[in-house]
Structure 1
Amino acid sequence: MKTGPSKLRRLLSSASHNTRHWCAVAAVGLSAGLASPVWAQPKETLIWLLRDLPPTMILEGPKKGQGIIDHMLPLLIAGLPQYEHTLMRVNRARAMQMLHEESFTCDPSLVWTKEREQWITFSIPAFRAVSNGLVVRKEDRSVLEPFLIDGEVDLAALLINGQKKVGVVAERSYGEVLDTLLKQAPDGALTPHYGNDALGSLLQMQRLGRLQVVLGYWPEIRYQAQQANIADDELAFYPIKGTGKYLSGHIGCSSTAQGRQAISAINQLLRTLPHEGLDRLYADWLDPQRRKDYLEEAKAFFEHQAGQ
């Protein structure tokens, strides 16, 4: 779907009240771009690759448009009036394929890895997210107890043990540390799911007793569980040893001259984005005990980034 002026204005209006001032400034620049003379050079078309990834991006359901990327993307589009913008909904595999190609495409929600950096050019951190962990039904907590060290799971030991399979979303990056552990997992230690609603399907398998352990982001797990009428107090979430509490989400573009130029402009925008308001949007998806710590960490992180 191509974003003409009316579509862009609707995107801008979807941003939260916390970013209203930034939007107003950006909209002025956007209007100026739309009013450019007919003899101007045609704009290059930047294709944004979107996929349903609650709670960062929500394309369907009652919470549609309430993810942090849903609010950030209109600000980025408004701040890049030198491009024509097209929004394209794709699945994970297609997004990775297009970023591999000689195309002018960008994905607004990617985890950096050394492997991906060979064919994707990454922005500076765009948002902070709670790191991945393992979730079990509360009655199955004993499954993880032998592998707990100070409240964190030794995932390497759990995988080598091989008695309980770990459900994962196929072809997803969980970050450098976890990706390495998953690649080294013995045959049969993982249960990968390839569907578009892979995490939701894994949680249903867990609910039915066909799987006990699922790997994922706690906010995303909570969202998917709510959609399936699984209450928070039915689940127990455990962080994984060696991953840290938080990781960064990045914007990634195809590693072409166009992609690198776009990332340079995007980095300038990210240094001036209203991160405090966007962080609060993400924090709303966290359980109350994690909210305060996340907001304090994210504030310090982006203040440090802005000063670099």
Structure 2
Amino acid sequence: MVKRCGLAGLVVALALAGPARAEGEQITWTVYEAPPFMMAEGEERNTGIFDRIRRLLTARLTEYSQSTLTVPFPRILTSLKQGAEWCFVGGVRTPEREGFAVFSRPVAMFYPLRIVVRAENRARFEALGPLSLRNLLTEHRALRTSMLRNRAIAPGIDALFRQYPPGQTHSEFGEAFRMLLNDRLDYLVEFSSSAAYHARLLGAPDAFVGFPFAEENPEPVFARVMCAGTPWGREVVARIDAVLAAERASPAYREIVEAWAAEADLPRIRAVYDTFLASD
């Protein structure tokens, strides 16, 4: 009887431990439509910069079963705050997000940042002199812009948008560029690769021009893998960091980082790649 009870107890313990261990070996990758970084739809599906990095990580992290879930970015943040054991390729590390998430070393870079306007409005913005986002948001508030909800671009830019919130927000990148093209916005603060991609997608490759501005970060903003800030998340990020340490210096990985970049921006991206490799 004692042996039988002991065996029953062992069976119960294994039954309880089994699901927890299975859950710990699962990675749910979250994605949404944000080309050219993530392409969740259409003929170019899974060919974005972060998509290709996610596929590389998936191929290396063979000890985990893995799945992909398409959800809006605000829900990704909300779910991570609630403890969902998800990961997202492309998160920007901020003090607020470090309260509920853990971040890998950089996987790619957002660079360079521009004030993007319709090409037909080039002279109008050139007449404003050296551009400053602060001036646009304060002295030229009649000029319409929008920001992606819950987005982190760069600390100085984020602070300006918090202090002087634009009149509207958008939920996905394509929506904002359609509004800009259709004269429902006057400018966007965006990365040049994103502007070039959406112009092409909208069938108007020469529709937009990008201007440097005073608050533009001289250094790139690094994108990272963002996972739940739990013991599970820390373990997954440690494994991801090991993969990145082995892969990031390779020509194949450099090709991923440079994918979709405007030709004119490649020298600047290549010039800061060593900084990218040295960052943790």
TM-score bin (small chain) = 0.7 to 0.9
SS at match of 1:209: coil
Q: 2:213 aligns with which of 240, 263, 270?
A: 240
Q: Secondary structure at the match of 1:124?
A: strand
1:126 is matched with 107
Paired with 2:128 and 2:101, the residues of 1 have a C-alpha distance of 35
Q: In percent, how many aligned pairs have the same letter?
A: 23
User: When the two structures are superposed, what TM-score results if normalisation uses the length of structure 1?
Assistant: 0.76
Distance 2:80 2:243 in 1: 22
Q: Whole-Å Cα distance in 1 between the matches of residues 248 and 233 of structure 2? A: 24
Aligned: 1:227 with 2:208: no
Q: CA deviation at 1:135?
A: 0.6
Q: Which residue of 2 aligns with 1:28?
A: none
CA displacement at 1:190 relative to structure 2? 3.4
Please state if 1:301 is matched with 2:275: yes
Q: Residue 279 of structure 1 corresponds to which residue in structure 2?
A: 254
- Amino acid corresponding to residue 176 of structure 1 in structure 2: P
Q: Which runs of 5+ in 2 are unaligned?
A: 1-20
Q: 1:166 maps to what in 2?
A: 145
Q: Which runs of 5+ in 1 are unaligned?
A: 1-40
2:173 maps to what in 1? 199
* Cα-Cα RMSD: 2.1
Q: CA deviation at 1:157?
A: 1.5
**TM-fit CA distance, 1:244:** 2.0
For residues 66 and 291 of structure 1, the distance between their equivalents in structure 2, rounded to whole angstroms, comes to 19
Once the two structures are TM-superposed, the CA of residue 78 in structure 1 deviates from its matched residue by 2.8
Q: 2:161 aligns with which of 170, 182, 203?
A: 182
Higher relative contact order (CA 8 A, sep 6+): 2
Shift in alpha-carbon separation, 1:87–1:210, aligned structure 2, 3 A: closer
Cα distance, 1:263 vs. partner? Answer: 1.1
Q: Is the 8 A contact 1:112 1:175 kept in 2?
A: no
For residues 231-274 of structure 1, what are the alpha-carbon distances to aligned partners after superposition, in whole Å with 9 as ceiling and x for unaligned?
A: 23x32102332322521110011111111111122111111114
TM-score w.r.t. length of structure 2: 0.83
Cα separation, 1, equivalents of 2:213 and 2:204: 23
Distance 1:193 1:274 in 2: 33
How many residues get paired? 256
Indicate the structure (1 or 2) with the bigger Cα radius of gyration: 2
Contact 1:114 1:176 in 2 (8 A): no
- Alignment match, 2:135: 157
Does 2:81 match 1:100? yes
In the alignment, is the contact (CA less than 8 A) between 2:34 and 2:173 conserved in 1?
Answer: no
Aligned partners of 1:145, 1:226: CA distance in 2, in Å?
24
CA-to-aligned-CA distance 1:259-305 (integer Å, 9 cap, x gap): 1111122111111114432332342412221123212322x224434
